[in-house]
Structure 1
Amino acid sequence: MNRTILITASILGLISIVLGAFGAHGLKALISVEAVQTFETGVRYQMYHAFLLLFVGGSNVISEKTKTKMFYLVIVGLLFFSGSIYGLATNTLTGFDFKTIGFITPIGGLLLIVAWLLMFIDFLKKKPIV
């Protein structure tokens, strides 16, 4: 599972850089300043969670069960949170009205919060090394 988590983290980081560059250079002429800022929020949270997965995949402190749960929570959370933000920010450029699925943004955020909470709980369960 660690290999899968690390590969996924690398891909998420790579996509974050590409989307960030696209937002900074390609979208500025196409959407409003507020929409670009919204898009950048999605990129930022995606990168934060790429770093989280890099930590999780490289950690020996987090249990395998928690790693697996966190992995899926982060993937679905990012798809819902950042994915919907990307859609909402670029809504004027597409034929699909992303406002109809805007309700998934907070669900994605909640899934990301739960992933962090699971890691915190896993840390609390560990016996301190004396």
Structure 2
Amino acid sequence: MLGAFGAHALKGRLDAEALGWWQTAVQYLLPIAVLAVALGVSGRTEVRLSGWLLGGGAALFAATLFAMALGAPRWLGAVTPVGGAAMILGWALLAWKASRPRP
């Protein structure tokens, strides 16, 4: 929905840089949100932290990009990597948990 909104409703209203931010936010948010929900409903408590890091990181990453695209101050761009770092930690933790033998 956010991708369609950006492609149609915002296309003539935002410059190319802002549309790029919007597109990047959408590209990261959707697949990671689906993964975070899947981890949450899996019932496996050992991946819970990974899900929170991935979901929270994606939300923060995308929210700052969406906000900047809509005109928020550009200093928010300094917060965006915090969300990216949380996503990286979530992936790393998930990979580590997946590589360990299950009891």
The alignment's C-alpha RMSD in Å is: 1.8
For residues 71-104 of structure 1, what are the alpha-carbon distances to aligned partners after superposition, in whole Å with 9 as ceiling and x for unaligned? 321232123211111112222xxxx42x122211
1:58 offset after TM fit, Å? 4.8
1:50 offset after TM fit, Å? 2.0
What are the residue-to-residue correspondences of 1:1-130 with 2, within 5 Å?
A: 18-59=1-42, 63-67=44-48, 69-91=49-71, 96-97=72-73, 99-127=74-102
Task: Give the letter aligned to residue 79 of structure 1.
Answer: A
Give the number of equivalent residue pairs. Answer: 102
Q: TM-score, normalised by structure 1?
A: 0.69
How many angstroms apart in 2 are the aligned matches of 1:71 and 1:77? 10
Structure 1 runs (4+) deviating above 6 angstroms are: none
1:54 offset after TM fit, Å? 4.0
Task: Give the letter aligned to residue 124 of structure 1.
Answer: S
Q: TM-score, normalised by structure 2?
A: 0.84
Identity %: 29
Kept in 1, the 8 Å contact 2:64–2:79? The answer is yes
Larger radius of gyration: 1
The unaligned stretches of length 5 or more in structure 1 are 1-17
How many angstroms apart in 2 are the aligned matches of 1:50 and 1:78? 7
